[in-house]
Amino acid sequence: MKKRILLLAGGQSGEHEVSLRSARSVLRALPRDQFDVTPVVISPQGRWLPPGDTQRALETGEAQRGGDLVLHRAASAEGYDAVFPLLHGPMGEDGTIQGLLTLAGIPFVGSGVLGSAVSMDKVMTKQVLASAGIPQVAWRLAVRREWHDRPEEVCDRAHELGYPLFVKPANLGSSVGISKVNHPGELERALDLAFSLDRRVILEAVAAHKPRELEVGILGNDAPIASPVGELRFEADFYDYETKYTEGRATMHIPAPLPGEIAERVRTLALTAFRALDCAGLARVDFFYDERTGDLLLNEVNTMPGFTTTSMYPKLFEAAGLSYSELVTRLVELALEKR
């Protein structure tokens, strides 16, 4: 019997468009002799689009207005064997959809409520990983109310970290809302931007002047495996949205040219983080590596990483001998095994 899969894409976050691209690739790759796949695009307004509108959204990369409220449509998700929530960022990668699916009793690809929520929030991630002994940059939390009522306190926290520093919405991705702040004069604008997108903002010391950026894929539930380590190289000051999504701005190197012991350390730290955060199915764990000092710092854990055929996560497992379509098949199997 073919498995009936509901593929959710789009969503309400700033990564709507990226999710549609990933979904197009996954739709093409799920073997049709094993799976009956129904895509549903969630509009930026949070409405679940009917089949015709979903098809148009996938083709044009732009969702129409209309559609059903989530609870209404989720009730009819009863007939599916598993859901692939290919959604990035808030209301998708953060435990909200995972909670809905858990309540509905439908198996789904990826981390559950806890792993998704904790990994999405960069501050919670840092706290949990610190208690697991994982090396990370120095950081401070600020919430919107503090920025409005006592801005000088928030600025003091930044000054403590020193410049340059990074300012980021705590719960986003694709570098949306992230600024590198080179001196105190640039701080206000960076904080205004980050707080326009999130109630919680993280201030981070820089990992190094220009750290190498390493990424590793994790696959599995309670016995996860790590992929080879990949590296991203680019000219830009940091890996911002344009660099991520403009063809030719960044290059992927798999495996990353690294001493064997560093690559092994990346893989071990990533597996430790995956377990500490109670992740499941998949995650892409990102690191900073300073060649001069040998410092290796964990940057973040993405529980639903970019998933086009040219994205890092599938490329990492391709290098490990798992084709894109074998990988998505494995992810669905892991979803069904999870309970």
Question: Which spans of this chain sit near Mg ion (rule: CB under 5 A)?
Answer: 173, 286, 300, 302
Going 77 to 83 to 88 to 90, the CA torsion angle's sign is positive
Among ligand ATP, Mg ion, none, the one that 171 touches (CB under a kind-dependent 5 to 8 A) is none
Please check if 174 is assigned to a binding site. yes
Among ligand ATP, Mg ion, none, the one that 175 touches (CB under a kind-dependent 5 to 8 A) is ligand ATP
The residues annotated as belonging to the active site are 15, 174, 311
Please check if 206 is assigned to a binding site. yes
Cβ closer to Mg ion: 11 or 173?
A: 173
How far is it, in rounded angstroms, from Cα 16 to Cα 26?
15
Phi–psi pair at 25, nearest 5 degrees: -65, -45
Among ligand ATP, Mg ion, none, the one that 231 touches (CB under a kind-dependent 5 to 8 A) is none
Cβ closer to ligand ATP: 31 or 162?
A: 162
Given the rule CB under 6 A, which residues bind ligand ATP?
Answer: 137, 166, 168, 172-175, 178, 204, 206-207, 211, 213, 238-239, 286, 288, 299-300, 302
Among Mg ion, ligand ATP, none, the one that 220 touches (CB under a kind-dependent 5 to 8 A) is none
Cβ closer to Mg ion: 53 or 121?
A: 121
Report in angstroms how near the CB of residue 302 gets to Mg ion at its nearest.
Answer: 4
How far is it, in rounded angstroms, from Cα 304 to Cα 307?
8
Q: Which two structure tokens, joined as six digits, stand for 233?
A: 């190289």
Contact 333, 46 (CB under 8 A): no
Report in angstroms how near the CB of residue 80 gets to ligand ATP at its nearest.
Answer: 27
- Residue 114 burial by Cβ neighbours in a 10 Å radius (0-12, 13-18, 19+): middle
Cβ closer to Mg ion: 20 or 106?
A: 20
Contact 211, 288 (CB under 8 A): yes
How far is it, in rounded angstroms, from Cα 261 to Cα 259?
5
Distances 171 to 113, 116, 137, 164, 192 between C-alpha atoms, Å: 15, 11, 17, 21, 15
Binding-site positions read 122, 166-168, 174-175, 204-213, 286, 299-300, 302
